[in-house]
Structure 1
Amino acid sequence: MPTDKHGYVMAKNIHAGMNVYVMNDDGILITETVSNVSDVVKQGYVAPLTVEGTLIVNNVAASCYATIDSHYIAHTV
């Protein structure tokens, strides 16, 4: 997930107090502070790829690279 101060961070490493990018009602990306984090486990597998390497999920900006820690390296490969 893209953050304002830490670059891209894997979702499992996001914690309360970090700022992430979310899409507001006008379709503009703004930062919001994470208030709490909880684990959700669902069955299935989805791995969409986009030209930019990012997508919006539930109004939150996310990287589409799930297994490589560096968004930059994953995008250049």
Structure 2
Amino acid sequence: MTGPEERKAPASDRSPWNWLLVIPIVVPLLTFLFNADGPRFLGFPRFYWLQLAFILLGVGVTTLVYQMTKKR
């Protein structure tokens, strides 16, 4: 029987690209990356400029995943 009773399966959000979103979560948890005072960049210790790098990493990965998974 064809008609309104037939329903399409809901769209799935299970794309392999979504696994990249784990990177900005795991990388800041690696404490050995920023467990030192040097090197300094523009007078800031490694901890501070690395936090800014983590933000840029998160923005970049999120943008990449969005572009690869959006419906065209």
Q: TM-score range by the shorter chain?
A: under 0.3
Higher alpha-carbon Rg? 2
With structure 1 as the length reference, what TM-score do the two structures score?
0.20
**Which has more strand, going by share of residues?**
1
**Which has more helix, going by share of residues?**
2
